[in-house]
């Protein structure tokens, strides 16, 4: 297939905002793609050449891209950079550059999907000395042969920012629409098809493979997909519960379990081989040799997939360390053994999806727990079953909750005993109970300019609370979520006239705008001059109209202290 056929599709997708129309366009398109190219096309439509879990990276930064565009078009790098400043998008800069190209077209060749795909993959495999030059050549050769709009999408794909709005839900629905259903299908058939696609995707993590399977083997084929040892999977997610009482009223006897504030970890074992995956499907096996060792000693089954929460443990107190400290380990490439000694981990297991050739995810939780208990030889304090009780007594669960909080854990999970394990979904059979934090009113005292499609807006906001003694504003965090595009636009318009100082991409503003901010918790932090930081701050609403004063540091401190108590 010619690459231009794909770019035509990209242009169509980029120009229609509606999800339904995008899906319909994709359905038509996918039906026409030859089977041999389907996997590649489905990856490319998502703007990637490897499935999301893959560790292969193209590793091209914008600086190198500008050089490649310059090399291919004969324009100077600063010329390309000017275009970037104007458009905020290197893809468009490449397109414009190719249009105004000074070089001859002798070197041009017709680009096919195969050729582009293989060359993009090559970018991840060239290593060693001279690899930068080799990468530069690969990209510029592609751009030399590209028509202007092809250059736009090649460059965006390499930079991992395709901008045609093909979110995972759209790809899922399009695969179902193209290969499993038609206009005559009933609502139920449609739902079944979408569920089958989603089920296969949760286990394969690659819509390319899922599409081929859907086309060749239909719904039955997708439903047969089982656990793939060595590949990450999409974990099951819970939802927040109103309170303990409502959950017990709805379900009766339930399993209440400590909710640990650590890192979710899926441990896979096949003989003497082990894999560790995070909730975001990252392979962290190398980063946690200690967990592999525990698993080797403790897991009795020949093959299994179990799940739990890994916690960093404070060597001095024995209490859990804040999540950020453990997460430093997850991305370490060197000094791994040293880090493992400094930040020892504890794994608390709470589920099992597979054992010795048998999938368990359709079994009820109470059966899965029996299996888990059978195959785990606990190593006390290091690799053990999560702490739980099974009861329908609200009072007992409340006491257990207090027990969790006083042990410095996050709260409880309440789980329905006869529920299956549903991959990749928020389910109504697993509830989180944790202290609710009151929102804070804070002043915006600075902001940074966005990137990519958001260059025109200030998109991260420095938040400040008031020092009650001096009246000065003290930083307590940086907020960049919770706003819609319109709200970014509106906020930017309001902040621009308030700018008093600029440093690089950061601006400092008069503290005129007060916002209500939600967050998960407050932590001590040396990074901000208040000494505290909000974890996951998110915009709730602007308060300037009804309130002109930010909260004080005293309130931040008292909320910080109240976290240790029952909320
Ligand atoms: P949250 O991140 O607040 O939405 O809570 C969900 C997360 O809690 C899960 O992704 C797990 O990483 C974590 N968690 C801690 N303890 C448990 C447990 N006992 N069962 C399930 N998830 C748990």
Q: Is the four-CA dihedral 277, 278, 280, 283 of positive or negative sign?
A: negative
**Which is catalytic among the residues 40, 135, 259, 415?**
259
Q: If you average pLDDT over residues 154-170, what whole number do you get?
A: 93
The finding on whether 122 has its CB within 6 A of some atom of ligand 1 is no
| Alpha carbon 54 to chain centroid, angstroms | 14
Q: If you average pLDDT over residues 233-255, what whole number do you get?
A: 92
Range picked from 45-54, 170-179, 225-234 for highest mean pLDDT: 170-179
Tell the residue nearest (CA) to atom 2 of ligand 1: 261
User: Annotated catalytic, 434?
Assistant: no
Q: In whole angstroms, what is the distance from residue 44 CA to residue 297 CA? A: 42
Count how many Cα atoms sit within 13 Å of the Cα of residue 280 in the half-sphere of its side chain. 7
Q: If you average pLDDT over residues 130-136, what whole number do you get?
A: 94
Q: Which of 235, 238, 347, 519 to mutate to test the pocket of ligand 1 (most atoms within 8 A of CB)?
A: 238
- 225 CB contacts (<8 Å, ≥6 apart)? 199, 200, 203, 204, 213
Domain covering 237-433 in this structure, CATH number: 3.30.470.30
- 307 CB contacts (<8 Å, ≥6 apart)? 235, 264, 265, 266, 267, 349, 350, 351, 352, 353
Asked whether the beta carbons of 485 and 458 are under 8 A apart, the reply is no
Q: What is the pairing mode between strands 345-355 and 388-391?
A: unpaired
Say whether 440-562 and 237-433 share the same fold.
no
Q: If you average pLDDT over residues 296-304, what whole number do you get?
A: 98
Question: Which pLDDT tens digit goes with each residue over 508-540?
Answer: 999 999 999 998 788 889 999 999 999 889 899
Q: Which of 309, 421, 435 to mutate to test the pocket of ligand 1 (most atoms within 8 A of CB)?
A: 309
The finding on whether 264 has its CB within 6 A of some atom of ligand 1 is yes
Helix (H, G, I), strand (E, B) or coil at 416: strand
Q: Reduced to 3 DSSP states, what percent helix, strand and coil does the chain have, rounded to the nearest 5?
A: 45, 25, 35
Backbone torsions φ then ψ of 275, nearest 5 degrees: -130, 145
Give me ligand 1 centre to Cα 412, in Å. Answer: 9
Asked whether the beta carbons of 325 and 361 are under 8 A apart, the reply is no
Give me ligand 1 centre to Cα 238, in Å. Answer: 8
Give me ligand 1 centre to Cα 520, in Å. Answer: 14
Whether the pLDDT of residue 567 is over 50: the answer is: no
Strand partners, 534: 522
Domain covering 48-159 in this structure, CATH number: 1.10.3260.10
Whether the pLDDT of residue 352 is over 60: the answer is: yes
Q: In whole angstroms, what is the distance from residue 387 CA to residue 399 CA? A: 13
Please tell me the CATH superfamily of domain 440-562, with its number.
Answer: Nucleic acid-binding proteins (2.40.50.140)
Mean pLDDT of the chain: 92
The finding on whether 432 has its CB within 6 A of some atom of ligand 1 is yes
Selected residue with higher pLDDT from 542 and 346? 346
Q: Where are the domains of the chain?
A: 48-159, 237-433, 440-562
């Amino acid at each position: 297939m010619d690459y231009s056929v794909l770019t035509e599709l990209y242009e169509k997708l980029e120009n229609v905002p509606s999800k339904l129309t995008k899906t319909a366009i994709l359905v038509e398109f996918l039906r026409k793609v030859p089977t041999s190219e389907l996997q590649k096309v489905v990856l490319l439509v998502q703007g990637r050449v490897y499935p999301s879990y893959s560790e292969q990276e193209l590793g091209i930064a914008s600086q190198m891209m500008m050089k490649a565009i310059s090399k291919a078009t004969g324009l100077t790098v600063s010329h390309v950079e000017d275009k970037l400043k104007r458009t905020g998008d290197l893809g468009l800069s490449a397109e414009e550059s190719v249009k105004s190209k000074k070089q001859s077209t002798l070197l041009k060749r017709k680009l096919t999907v195969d050729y582009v795909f293989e060359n993009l993959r090559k970018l991840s495999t060239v290593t060693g000395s001279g690899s930068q030059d080799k990468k530069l050549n690969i990209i510029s050769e592609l751009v030399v042969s590209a028509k202007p709009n092809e250059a736009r999408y090649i460059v965006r794909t390499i930079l991992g920012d395709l901008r045609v709005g093909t979110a995972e839900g759209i790809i899922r629905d399009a695969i179902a629409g193209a290969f499993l259903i038609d206009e005559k299908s009933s609502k139920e058939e449609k739902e079944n098809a979408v569920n089958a696609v989603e089920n296969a995707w949760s286990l394969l993590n690659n819509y390319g493979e899922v599409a081929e399977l859907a086309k060749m083997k239909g719904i039955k084929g997708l439903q047969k997909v089982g656990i793939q040892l060595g590949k990450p999977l999409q974990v099951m997610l819970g939802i927040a519960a109103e309170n303990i009482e409502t959950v017990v009223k709805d379900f009766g006897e339930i399993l209440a379990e400590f909710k640990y504030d650590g890192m979710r970890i899926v441990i896979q074992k096949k003989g003497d081989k082990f894999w560790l995956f995070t909730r975001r499907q990252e392979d962290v096996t190398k980063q946690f040799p200690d967990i592999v060792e525990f698993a080797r000693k403790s897991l009795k089954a020949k093959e299994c997939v179990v799940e739990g929460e890994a916690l960093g443990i404070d060597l001095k107190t024995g209490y859990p360390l804040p999540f950020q400290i453990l997460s430093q380990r997850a991305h370490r490439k060197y000094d791994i053994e040293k880090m493992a000694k400094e930040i020892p981990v504890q794994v608390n297991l709470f589920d099992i999806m597979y054992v010795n050739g048998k999938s368990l995810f359709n079994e009820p939780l109470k059966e899965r727990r029996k299996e888990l208990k059978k195959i785990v030889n606990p190593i006390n304090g290091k690799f053990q079953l999560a702490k739980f009780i099974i009861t329908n007594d609200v009072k007992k669960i409340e006491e257990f909750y207090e027990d969790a909080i006083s042990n410095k854990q996050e709260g409880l999970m309440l789980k329905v005993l006869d529920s299956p394990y549903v991959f990749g979904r928020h389910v109504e059979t697993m509830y989180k109970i944790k202290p609710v934090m009151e929102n804070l009113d804070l002043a915006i005292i600075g902001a940074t300019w966005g990137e990519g499609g958001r260059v025109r807006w200030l998109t991260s906001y420095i938040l400040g609370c008031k020092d009650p003694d001096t009246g000065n504003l003290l930083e307590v965090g940086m907020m960049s979520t919770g706003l819609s595009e319109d709200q970014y636009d509106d906020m930017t318009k309001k902040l621009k006239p308030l700018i008093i100082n600029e440093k690089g991409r950061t601006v400092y503003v008069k503290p005129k705008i007060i916002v209500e901010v939600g967050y998960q918790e407050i932590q001590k932090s040396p990074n901000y001059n208040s000494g505290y930081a909000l974890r996951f701050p998110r915009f709730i609403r602007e308060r300037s109209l009804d309130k002109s004063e930010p909260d004080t540091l005293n309130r931040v401190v008292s909320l910080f202290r109240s976290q240790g108590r029952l909320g």
